[in-house]
Amino acid sequence: MTLLTQDLEKKLKEQGLKLTVQRKTIFDLLLAHNNEHLSTEELYELVKEKYPQIGLATVYRTLLLFMNLGLIHKIDFDDGFSRYEINTHEDDHRHHHLICSQCGNIDEVREDLLDTLEAEILEKNGFLVKDHRVKFYGVCNQCRQYNTSKG
Amino acid sequence: MTLLTQDLEKKLKEQGLKLTVQRKTIFDLLLAHNNEHLSTEELYELVKEKYPQIGLATVYRTLLLFMNLGLIHKIDFDDGFSRYEINTHEDDHRHHHLICSQCGNIDEVREDLLDTLEAEILEKNGFLVKDHRVKFYGVCNQCRQYNTSKG
DNA sequence: ATTCATGCAAATCGTTTGCAACCCA
DNA sequence: TGGGTTGCAAACGATTTGCATGAAT
């Protein structure tokens, strides 16, 4: 059992909430697919493979619960779907997303480097940054090479 | 007439599209309220003051058009509404948003400082960054002072 | 005159909610 | 046992769309 699964149990217990099969299944799938930016519907399809009788509303309710417990966060790629990612511990400051405008692929970077900027924001604006979300739009490596080969 | 209004006319003409009173009105209001992150509904209410017979669908269609013409871009603050900002020329690299988790206020910073990070992304990932969106979550100056005064 | 744009209302679709049945603690 | 939880279906709300009318070029 991972550290994160312990987190789930602990946080539920703290609130007097129950660890159901549905919640466990959804959490495990979020863990297993954590780099895929799953939408609710995509997650629902995955859960049904393991627990066919689940209802879509349960998936929505569970994701909202996990958000409130601070276990996951929402990401938005403007495609009309809410997507989710586990809040891993090491990742106090999260990774950034690279969104290719050409092929639509979404990659990640571990680099952070926003500390300087955040210090400056505190100094100039008095705003204390606790977290950030960064999306880069551009052309991915594959598309750049394709563009070049076209001439 | 501003440079940006000329842009609207020019871009519409290029595509064989028409400059209607509705489009002009919506564009002017977007310009006048460009730091307010207006939602579609909010914009609709403003437009009705100048042009009461307008339909909500027209506002939606116009905003979509302006997006496709590259005149505006969508911003998402996870409150269930799509919001929009004019793409001003100087702002090739846009400002960042400071979202206060305590009072919900949204401010802006002009600082950029992502060039180093973007150069590194190109080098390591082969991803050519053309644009970015950055949201900082934290505590604003006012709330920090309030927190302190509470003891 | 032609073609695009509008307003209205209905449709769409992701998400939320009411409620009776269910099941973990 | 009892209160949280689920599944279903209905409700919701932002956004989109069909269509007949209206306006810009």
Same domain, B33 and B107: no
Alpha helices (H) in chain A, listed in sequence order: 3-14, 21-32, 40-50, 56-68, 115-125, 141-150
CA dist B67 to A57, B22, B32, B74, Å? 33, 16, 18, 8
Same domain, A34 and A49: yes
CATH code, domain carrying B151: 3.30.1490.190
Same domain, A15 and A44: yes
Question: pLDDT value at position B111?
Answer: 72
Query: SS3 letters for chain B?
Result: CCHHHHHHHHHHHHCCCCCCHHHHHHHHHHHHCCCCCCEHHHHHHHHHHHCCCCCHHHHHHHHHHHHHCCCEEEEECCCCCEEEEECCCCCCCCCEEEEECCCCCEEEECCCCCHHHHHHHHHHHCCEEEEEEEEEEEECHHHHHHHHHHC
Domain boundary among B89, B105, B124: B89
Domain of B47, in residue numbers: 1-89
Domain boundary among B89, B105, B126: B89
**A63-74 average pLDDT score:** 95
Q: Which range is least confidently modeled, A67-71, A144-148, B35-39? A: A144-148
Q: Which range is least confidently modeled, A4-18, A42-56, A78-92, B2-16? A: A78-92
According to DSSP, the residues that pair with B75 across neighbouring strands are: B83
Query: Distance from first CA to last CA of chain B, Å, rounded?
Result: 52
Same domain, A71 and A2: yes
Question: pLDDT value at position B35?
Answer: 87
Q: Is A133 helix (H, G, I), strand (E, B) or coil?
A: strand
**A6-28 average pLDDT score:** 96
Q: What is the pLDDT of residues B60-83, one digit of tens each?
A: 999 999 999 999 999 999 899 999
Cα–Cα distance, A76 to B120 (Å, whole number): 24
Q: How many domains does chain A fold into?
A: 2
Same domain, A73 and A41: yes
Residue B76 CA to C7 C1' — how many Å?
28
Share of chain A above pLDDT 90, in %: 74
**A88-101 average pLDDT score:** 79
Domain boundary among B35, B68, B89: B89
User: Which position has the higher pLDDT, A94 or A139?
Assistant: A139
Option in A107, A132, A133 nearest B127 (CB): A107
Report whether pLDDT(A1) > 70. no
CATH code, domain carrying B13: 1.10.10.10
Closest chain B residue by Cα to residue A75: B78
Q: Average pLDDT over chain B, rounded to whole?
A: 91
Same domain, B65 and B121: no
What is the CB-side half-sphere exposure of residue A6 using CA atoms within 13 A? Answer: 4
Same domain, A98 and A65: no
Same domain, B85 and B106: no
Tokens (6 digits) for B79: 């409150």
Same domain, A14 and A63: yes
Report whether pLDDT(B127) > 90. yes
Same domain, A79 and A131: no
Same domain, B75 and B129: no
Question: pLDDT value at position B23?
Answer: 98
Residues 116-135 of B with CB under 7 A from strand D: none
Q: What is the pLDDT of residues A109-144, one digit of tens each?
A: 987 778 889 999 999 999 999 999 999 999 999 999
pLDDT band at B112 (very low <50, low <70, confident <90, very high): confident
**Shortest alpha-carbon distance between residue B49 and chain A (Å):** 30
Same domain, A123 and A84: no
Question: pLDDT value at position B91?
Answer: 54
Alpha helices (H) in A87-140, listed in sequence order: 115-125
Q: Average pLDDT over chain A, rounded to whole?
A: 91
